[in-house]
Amino acid sequence: MKLSARTRYAARLLLDLAQHQENQPRKASQLSENTAVSVQFIEQIFKPLKQAGFIRSVRGASGGHLLAMEPQAITLGGIYRAMEGSFTLAECCDRPKTCTRADDCPTRSAWARISDALEREMNAITLADLMDNPEGLED
């Protein structure tokens, strides 16, 4: 499984907003400069993040984007769900009726277990954790 660029960039952008919380909205051009994500892609990425309630936008000359939640309330799991949807590695874990073998599949429970572990770990890491330890998380 690989994370999409949209999800990786969403985490990077939200972390930048968290690190620059002076109650001043950040312009897309500032975010682009700090994160190396194009302004056009930022606007695409921000749509689901706004819908999830992670950010809000302010219009006008001094407008831009702000976190709508505290960094400790935003998890990597929440970002992933906003951008990708489900954590499940196999469609049959969420929707067993999509596979005729779902009821007696010997691997389905393994995919579900791995998906649950990934979701649990991603839910345990917040933007605040990443801000406090920019070199990486410790076990």
Report pLDDT digits (tens) over 70-114. Answer: 999 999 999 999 999 888 777 767 766 677 676 777 887 888 888
What domain range is 37 assigned to? Answer: 5-86+127-132
In a domain, 94, yes or no: no
Band (pLDDT 50/70/90 cuts) for residue 136 is low
Check residue 91 and give its pLDDT.
72
Band (pLDDT 50/70/90 cuts) for residue 138 is low
User: DSSP string spanning 66-106?
Assistant: EESS-GGG-BHHHHHHHHH----SSHHHH-GGG-TTGGG-T
* Other CB atoms within 10 Å distance of the CB of residue 69: 16
Instruction: Specify the number of domains making up the chain.
Output: 1
Distance from C-alpha of 6 to C-alpha of 108, rounded to nearest angstrom: 28
Residue 139 above 60 pLDDT?
no
- CA geometry: angle at 108 spanning 4 and 92, to 5°? 60
The CATH number of the domain holding residue 54 is 1.10.10.10
In a domain, 108, yes or no: no
Q: What percent of the chain has pLDDT over 70?
A: 89
In a domain, 29, yes or no: yes
Check residue 85 and give its pLDDT.
87
What tens digit of pLDDT does each residue of 20-70 get?
887 689 999 999 999 999 999 999 999 999 999 999 998 888 889 999 999
Check residue 24 and give its pLDDT.
85
Q: Please list, in sequence order, all residues whose beta carbon lies within 8 angstroms of the beta carbon of residue 91, skipping any fewer than 6 positions away.
A: 98, 99
